[in-house]
Amino acid sequence: METRSLELFAEARKLIPGGVNSPVRACSSVDSTPLFIAAGKGSRIRSADGEEYIDFVQSWGPLLLGHAHPKVLAALREALENGTSFGAPCEAELRLAQAICAAVPSIEMVRMVSSGTEAAMSALRLARGCTGRKKLLKFDGGYHGHADAFLARAGSGVATLSIPGTPGVPEAVVSDTLIAPYNDSQAAEDLFRLHRDEIAAVFVEPAAGNMGLVLPRPGFLESLRALCDRYGALLVFDEVITGFRVAYHGAQGHYRIKPDLTVLGKIIGGGMPVGAYGGKRDLMLQVAPAGPVYQAGTLSGNPAAMAAGLATLRVLRGLDYAALSAAVEDFCRELEGIFAAKGIPARINRLASMFTVFFSEREVTDFASAKNADQTRYTKFYKHLRARGVYIAPSAFETAMVSFAHGREDFRQTLEAADTLEF
Ligand code: KE4
């Protein structure tokens, strides 16, 4: 039953564009209307109609511990007893900075902001400021938040809603944005050969989560590192999704590649609004007020948000990532078996606690092959699961997020629901 969600959505559409505060939540690409969520606990959420769902969206990634983890809530309660914001430094900012620098191999200094978008746009400004160069090289289907420079052939909500280019973004801005297909080292090299010392930075999701999950081919990330070294550009890993998810040390720890700058978000806020960018000391010392590259934010380093992020990382540090990866691998294998038994062509890309089901005969290795997957079947899959209490991403260009709170019963119920799917 979705009566209350429908009522709330009708009201919301009168006052909020599309009835949502972020486009991908609208569920329009899967021919549905959004559930309004009243509560979450562990692996599950409860809708405004009181219906329970196994949640594989997990707020798009921040909740690797699951919803309402007791230690996160306790840390928030304690912080909030002292107020909500001071606009001045507080110890919690230092403690979270220490935890991030200790965990992420390439980060020697870090600046907190309030979203992944803010972190990515600031990292780009820093890269341009440090190199004196203008151009950005990103990958087709890569998503780095909604700052102007990145909204050229982006993934996530831009792909989901098939937004062609992006109204409101001046041509002059995206004219400095170069695009190559993900996993195409030769295309990246060709752009470097053409633009040589004009490229300030390469932005890449070390595992791409915004065209559905697409993994780097062996050698792809290494080729970007080598190109940046050869041409004097900065390599920026956007780890807003993968940071602390693929491994506690991030995808850069998993793949053993050191970027010059890293963009973080989601998990480091534990569900509260937090983003961060960090990297080599000599680069970060260019950021105001230490250096000339300006960036600021009223709620940057907010004490409550820092407390939630710190509590999250402290719990994650002691958890068994390999065991979670193994559980997700087992689940994906069983799901592959269900599709195979039904003669349904499907490819399930997975890494650590993320997976995406592509209804495709062919392997999905970039945005073009992701777009070739059968979106109609994805929509039917989404609706079928939602009707049976399983909540997956309302877009074929997102990745499912499994948490440490997901257990056998969640996987069993999900497989049981998938087993009744008919196309
Ligand atoms: P935010 O500004 O939404 O906090 O972060 C932007 C961002 C940057 N980089 C990557 C790799 C990201 O995935 C994101 C945001 N992710 C999307 C979903 N994949 C957020 C969901 C939404 O837009 O509502």
Q: Output the residue whose Cα is nearest ligand 1's atom 6.
A: 145
Ligand 1 pocket by C-beta < 6 Å: which residues?
Answer: 22, 24, 60, 115-117, 120, 143-145, 156-157, 205, 209-210, 238, 240-241, 265, 275, 398
Same domain assignment for residues 225 and 327: no
Q: Which of 271, 269, 343, 335 is nearest to 301 (CA)?
A: 269
| 358 and 276 in a common domain | no
* 305 and 409 within one domain: no
Q: From the alpha carbon of 115, which atom of ligand 1 is closest?
A: 4
Neighbour-count burial of 250, counting CB atoms closer than 10 A to its CB (0-12 exposed, 13-18 middle, 19+ buried): buried
135: β partners: 199
Domain boundary among 298, 316, 334: 316
Q: Report the separation in Å between the CA atom of 342 and the middle of ligand 1, taken as the mean of its atom positions.
A: 34
Cα of 97 to ligand 1 centre, how many Å?
21
Ligand 1, atom 24, residue with closest C-alpha = 22
- Give the Å distance between the CA of 116 and the centre of ligand 1: 6
Question: Which residue's CA lies nearest to atom 1 of ligand 1?
Answer: 116
Ligand 1 atom with minimal separation from the 117 CA: 2
Cα of 145 from ligand 1 centre, angstroms: 5
| 8 Å CB contact between 228 and 206 | no
Domain that holds residue 350: 3-68+320-419
* Catalytic-residue membership of 266: yes
Residues shown for the chain? 423
Residue 35 and residue 140 in one domain: no
Question: If you measure from the C-alpha of residue 402 to the centroid of ligand 1, how many angstroms do you get, rounded to a whole number?
Answer: 17
pLDDT score of 405: 98
346 with 292, same domain: the answer is no
Domain co-membership, 249 together with 129:
yes
Question: Strand pairing of 400-401 and 354-358?
Answer: antiparallel
User: Cα–Cα distance between 58 and 49 in angstroms, integer?
Assistant: 19
Q: What is the DSSP letter of 217?
A: P
Name residue 40's beta-bridge partners: 45
From 135, 138, 266, 371, the catalytic residue: 266
CATH value at residue 245: 3.40.640.10
Indicate the pTM of the whole model: 0.97
In Å, how far from its chain's centre is CA 82? Answer: 31
Q: Are strands 44-47 and 354-358 parallel, antiparallel or unpaired?
A: unpaired
| Protein residue with least CA distance to atom 9, ligand 1 | 144
- Asked whether residue 128 falls in the same domain as residue 259, the answer is yes
Ligand 1 pocket: which of 25, 241, 242, 395 to mutate (most atoms <8 Å of CB)?
Answer: 241
Q: Does 58 share its domain with 79?
A: no
CB 235 within 8 A of CB 201: yes
Residues 159, 29, single domain; the answer is: no
Ligand 1: which residue has its CA nearest to atom 15?
Answer: 145
Q: Which atom of ligand 1 has the smallest separation from the CA of 22? A: 24
160, 228: one domain: yes
> What residues have CB less than 8 Å from 48, skipping those under 6 apart?
4, 5, 8, 35, 36, 37, 38
Among 176, 238, 366, 410, the one annotated catalytic? 238
Last residue of a domain, one of 276, 299, 316: 316
Count of the separate structural domains present in the chain: 2
Q: Which of 289, 316, 343 is the last residue of a domain?
A: 316
Tell me, what's the pLDDT at 170?
82
Judge whether 95 and 312 are in contact, CB under 8 Å. Answer: no
**One domain for residues 175 and 126:** yes
User: What is the pLDDT, as a whole number, of residue 231?
Assistant: 98
Question: Could you report the average pLDDT of every consecutive run of 10 residues in the chain (423 residues)?
Answer: 96 98 96 98 98 98 98 98 98 98 97 98 98 96 95 75 70 89 97 96 98 98 98 98 98 98 98 98 98 98 98 98 98 98 98 98 98 98 98 97 98 98 92
Three-class SS of residue 361?
A: coil
Active site residue 238: yes
Q: Which residue has the tokens 């972020």?
A: 22
Q: Can you tell me which atom of ligand 1 is nearest the CA of 145?
A: 6
Same structural domain, 197 and 85? yes
Amino acid at 29: S
Which CA distances in Å does 284 have to 64, 96, 224, 279, 299?
28, 17, 21, 6, 20
For the domain that residue 370 is a member of, what is the CATH number? 3.90.1150.10
Distance 234 CA to ligand 1 centre (A): 22
Distance between CA atoms of residues 74 and 315, nearest Å: 13
Nearest atom in ligand 1 to 116's CA: 5
